[in-house]
A = this chain, B = another copy of it.
Amino acid sequence: MVSEKEVEKNEELEVEETEATEEVEASQEELLQAKVDELEDQYLRARAEIANITNRNRNEREQLQKYRSQDLGKKLIPVIDNLERAMETEVADDQGQSLKKGVEMTLESLRHALKEEGIEEIKADGEAFDPNLHQALQTMPAEDGVAADTIIQVLQKGYKLHDRVLRPAMVIVAQ
């Protein structure tokens, strides 16, 4: 038989034990919840990173694609210059004419190929001077009816690839 005193003591002990277990479990739960919160945060950041990387890469690819012909295009500008200079040669006989015709056709196909890649001559003659597109090598007094800053002569053609200048046009500007 258990005395009342002992029963009371046992009860007290039991209550203490239960409280202690609850405390441990609560803190275990808190730890797990903190871990869940942390992981959720990390996971959301990783998803955001994936979205950013994907967007950035799409933009990079588009830029690479858009300007892919920049280097080769730049090197082809002197080729066009040379062909245009060749076209200015005066020829006397049929062979010369035939050669010149060949050069003209070559020049046309070259210009066409560059245009398809987005490379075009910069408009200059008669245009308003734009320091982003044109380089003034000389100024001349404006004649009557010509506004100041108008390009009155192109010394060397300029070329651009879409919005990028490959070579500015070298010009004479009215002042």
Contact = CB atoms under 8 A, between A and B. Distances in A.
Contacts of A33: 32
Contacts of A86: 99, 102-103, 106
A60 B110 CA distance: 29
A132 interface: no
A137 interface: no
Interface string A138-175: 00000000000000000000000000000000000000
Interface residues of A, number: 67
Contacts of A49: 46, 50
B89 A99 contact: yes
A73 B76 contact: no
Contacts of A73: 72
B79 A113 contact: yes
A103 B99 contact: yes
Interface string A40-61: 1011001101100110010011
A167 to B, nearest CB: 14
10 contacts: A2-B4, A2-B7, A14-B14, A14-B15, A18-B18, A61-B61, A75-B109, A89-B95, A89-B102, A92-B95
Interface of A: 1-2, 4, 7, 10-11, 14-15, 18, 21-22, 25, 28-29, 32-33, 35-36, 39-40, 42-43, 46-47, 49-50, 53-54, 57, 60-61, 64-65, 68-69, 71-73, 75-76, 78-79, 82-83, 85-86, 89-93, 95-96, 98-100, 102-103, 105-106, 109-110, 112-114, 116-117
